[in-house]
């Protein structure tokens, strides 16, 4: 798994992304997403929706840890 693959997974799910930044390597990543798609969602709901995208990769061990920073453009 690399940064570009993670960006592709997220980009295929979210429609209105202002910014995606991914740092990390191997199986540990920090992901920052700024998206209008997060409007009217609690922080918990945002995290649940993004973590669901990676559930199979986390279960298989291909990903070990993900740190998320999820905001709308107005929160930046």
- pLDDT above 90 (res 28): no
Put the strands of the sheet holding 65-71 in their side by side order. Answer: 17-25, 28-35, 65-71
- The total number of residues shown for the chain amounts to 76
Which domains does the chain show, CATH number per domain?
3-75 (3.30.300.90)
Residue 23 pairs in a beta bridge with 30
pLDDT for residue 52: 95
**Strand 65-71 relative to strand 28-35: parallel, antiparallel, unpaired?**
parallel
Distance CA 39, CA 65 (A): 25
Span 30-72, pLDDT tens digits? 999 999 999 999 999 999 999 999 999 989 988 889 999 999 9
């Amino acid at each position: 798994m690399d940064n570009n693959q993670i960006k592709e997974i997220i980009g295929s799910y979210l429609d209105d992304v202002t910014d995606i930044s991914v740092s990390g390597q191997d199986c540990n990543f920090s992901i920052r997403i700024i998206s209008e798609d997060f409007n009217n969602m609690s922080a918990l709901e945002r995290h649940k929706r993004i973590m669901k995208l990676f559930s199979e990769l986390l279960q298989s061990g291909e990903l070990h840890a993900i740190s998320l920073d999820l905001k709308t453009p107005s929160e930046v």
